[in-house]
Amino acid sequence: MTIPSLPSAYLEAVAAVLGPAETEAFLASYAAPRTYGLRLNTLKIDPASPAADKLAELFALHPVPWCGTGYYYEESTRPGKHPYHAAGLYYIQEPSAMSAVELLDPQPGHTVLDLAAAPGGKTTQIAGKMAGQGLLISNEIHPQRARILAENVERLGIRNAVVTQAAPPALSGRFPLAFDRIMLDAPCSGEGMFRKDPEAIREWSPEAVELCAARQWDILQDAVAMLKPGGRLAYSTCTFNRRENEDTIVRLLAAYPFLRLIAEKRIWPHREQGEGHYVALIERDNEEKNGAIATGSDGRTGAAAGTDGAVRRGGRERERGRGGRSGPAERSVAAAWDSFRAWSADELPAFAPPAGGTPLLFGEALYLLPASGGLALTPEHLTGLKVPRAGLHLGDVRKGRFEPAHALAMALGAAEAAPRVWTLGEDSPLAAAYLRGETLEVPASLRGWHLVTLACGDGQYPLGWGKASGGQLKNHLPKGLRH
């Protein structure tokens, strides 16, 4: 590979950080091949399991030193095209980007916000560390990117995540002092993308850096407003200049004296095997327990007005009957929940829905809003927000009949679906046929809904639903996922 033509202002900024001698080594890294990485999904697969060994052999994996579930892979193995990717066994992620969540280190039971979450690399890494316990709100302001985020949350089988599509002030008004951990992978000038994306070089300019720094500052103030006393915020970028990294953190600490810097990490492509990343870990003073959002030196709190208290069902406000009696909307939710429970008693007797969740109905779609010990999340919190995924999508109620959602299939373990499981072999061509949307031949004795799984090592991992009748398994993989 050859070294691309780089803007002179960019070269000057890099030299100001590294010095002239090390800048030469940095520039030489542009002639090296880019790195490729994936991260195992620990909600489905144990890194010490035979299934993980199978993946290591299949994709020539070797460890990423700063992430215990991260691995480099050989480009030629193309894990993103394999059926195991559709089964959610791993997430394709640039290795440097794995460093931020490792530093943030969210724990099971935490209430966590991923504020600029698409396409989902950090959200899925956070979810793995939370192990299905606690509440994860993953936000993305751009509609198309929010949809991709929701699809990745679904593919990896995450039960305790809510995906929102909102500007940061809309969230800070609803969730003041709410989160134990906040991840902000901030929109940036993307200098760490130059080696793999020539378009990023063409879009770069000193003015773009300043624009990004201003946007990052605005988002950070809303993030601070939502951070609990004693909580931690990880701020990261995939860029190299100081303006969007260290200088932004210095400004943040000066504006908010109740914040302190815990750790700071840079990954450079000439020092380590990765495209480059910056992350700073910030902690809010645990003694600051005044119950109100502390104001920064510029007088801004970052919080907007609260919600109006109305609960929406299918785009309409939830009605309440007089005298505290439930209205039609509540009765519709209750009927949908009863329909699901009756279906699951017959089809999924071993499955227990996550405890403490709140059923929500959006049109025909039934969701289970996750519970959190640290935040009493209610439907009212979501009023007025665009919510691509209001927790775990259980299924749809159509003309009194319940049909399970693909998200439910991906969130299940094979044991939870037993005995209604139809497993395809590791190397079976039927896996590709199923992912194309084809009907499969099965024994005539098979009846009703079955979880279609794919074998890997000693495990069986969901691909989606099928419904058996007359010796055929009708394919219920959503059309948008067929390929």
What does pLDDT average to over the chain?
91
Question: Do 281 and 197 meet the contact criterion of CB atoms below 8 Å apart?
Answer: no
CA separation for the pair 232, 100 (Å, rounded):
12
**Which among 63, 46, 14, 426 has a CA at the least distance from the CA of 273?**
63
pLDDT at residue 310 above 70?
no
The model's pLDDT over 240-292, given as tens digits with 9 standing for 90+, comes to 999 999 999 999 999 999 999 999 999 999 999 999 999 999 999 987 554 44
**154-181 mean pLDDT:** 97
CA separation for the pair 13, 242 (Å, rounded):
8
Question: Do 100 and 126 meet the contact criterion of CB atoms below 8 Å apart?
Answer: no
The model's pLDDT over 368-417, given as tens digits with 9 standing for 90+, comes to 999 888 888 889 999 999 999 999 999 999 988 999 999 999 999 999 99
Long-range residue pairs from 350-354, CB within 8 A, at least 24 positions apart, any chain: 350/415, 350/416, 350/417, 350/418, 351/412, 351/416, 351/417, 353/392, 353/394, 354/132, 354/159, 354/160, 354/392
Counting beta carbons within 10 angstroms of the beta carbon of residue 282, is it exposed (0 to 12), middle (13 to 18) or buried (19 or more)?
Answer: buried
The pLDDT, as a whole number, for residue 480 is 94
The pLDDT, as a whole number, for residue 36 is 97
CA separation for the pair 447, 449 (Å, rounded):
7
CA separation for the pair 90, 357 (Å, rounded):
27
pLDDT at residue 323 above 60?
no
pLDDT at residue 319 above 70?
no
Tokens standing for residue 357: 């969740």
The residues facing 38 across adjacent strands are 71, 92
**15-28 mean pLDDT:** 93
The pLDDT, as a whole number, for residue 289 is 52
Strand-pair category, 358-362 with 135-139: unpaired
DSSP string for 1-54: -PPPP--HHHHHHHHHHH-HHHHHHHHHGGGSPPP-EEEE-TTT--TTSHHHHH
The model's pLDDT over 407-428, given as tens digits with 9 standing for 90+, comes to 999 999 999 998 999 999 998 9
Backbone φ, ψ for residue 82 (5° rounding): -85, 145
Residues 6+ apart with CB under 8 A from 41: 88, 89, 90, 91, 124, 128, 156, 157
**318-325 mean pLDDT:** 40
**326-336 mean pLDDT:** 83
DSSP string for 391-439: SEEEEEEETTEEEE-HHHHHH--HHHHTTSEEEEPTT-HHHHHHHTT--
Backbone φ, ψ for residue 412 (5° rounding): -85, 150
CA separation for the pair 409, 466 (Å, rounded):
10
What percentage of the chain reaches a pLDDT higher than 70?
92
The pLDDT, as a whole number, for residue 223 is 98
Strand-pair category, 448-456 with 421-424: parallel
**422-450 mean pLDDT:** 96
**Cα angle, residue 153 at apex, residues 249 and 43 outer, rounded to 5°:** 95
Q: Which residues of 180-201 are buried (b: 16+ CB within 10 A; e: fewer)?
A: bbbbbbbbbbbbbbbbeeeebb
pLDDT at residue 194 above 50?
yes
pLDDT at residue 107 above 50?
yes
Tokens standing for residue 384: 């007025």
The model's pLDDT over 124-151, given as tens digits with 9 standing for 90+, comes to 999 999 999 999 999 999 999 999 999 9
The pLDDT, as a whole number, for residue 324 is 43
**303-327 mean pLDDT:** 38
- In this structure, what DSSP letter does residue 162 have? E
Question: Do 182 and 224 meet the contact criterion of CB atoms below 8 Å apart?
Answer: no
The model's pLDDT over 203-241, given as tens digits with 9 standing for 90+, comes to 999 999 999 999 999 999 999 999 999 999 999 999 999
Q: What is the largest CA-CA distance in the chain?
A: 77
The pLDDT, as a whole number, for residue 294 is 47
The pLDDT, as a whole number, for residue 29 is 94
Residues taking part in catalysis: 238
Backbone φ, ψ for residue 84 (5° rounding): -65, -25
- Whole-structure pTM value: 0.92
